[in-house]
Amino acid sequence: VTAEAAKVEPPPRSMDFSVSVNGNQLTLSAASIPTDIARVYVYWGDRKQTTIADSPGTILANGVVHQYLRGGGYNIRVVTIDAAYNSLEYTFAEDSDLAVVLP
């Protein structure tokens, strides 16, 4: 019997998000997106809509826009999936820009 060790831990988080707020409209973007990211899910924290990006490099570089129905505090959660089907979750604990307060 031959056994082989394999690295099974996910890669480290490497995306840095930024947000801009205009009233109840928020734009989420990321300047540096790893090339192996195949899909991104954005959970806006309002339980109304999830954004799924199959071309995350283009979409996040240009900014994803979300319209909230009312002001208040929201915690955005972003899940990335790479070409090897590894997923990483980003929350306000890793990136403080993902906690937003709207007027």
Q: Which pLDDT score is estimated for 12?
A: 63
Q: Which pLDDT score is estimated for 11?
A: 63
Q: What tens-digit pLDDT sequence spans the chain (103 residues)?
A: 888 877 666 666 678 999 999 999 999 999 888 888 999 999 999 988 899 998 888 888 899 999 999 999 999 999 999 888 888 999 999 899 999 999 8
- What are the start-end ranges of the H helices in 1-103? 56-62
Distance of CA 92 to the CA centre of its chain: 10
To which residue do tokens 């002001």 refer?
Answer: 71
Q: How far apart are the first and last CA of the chain?
A: 63
To which residue do tokens 């070409």 refer?
Answer: 83
Q: Which pLDDT score is estimated for 41?
A: 95
Handedness of CA 16, 80, 60, 24 (dihedral sign): negative
pTM score, whole prediction: 0.85
What gap in Å lies between CA 38 and CA 58, rounded to an integer?
11
**Distances in whole angstroms, Cα of residue 26 to Cα of each of 42, 59, 84, 99:** 12, 14, 31, 12
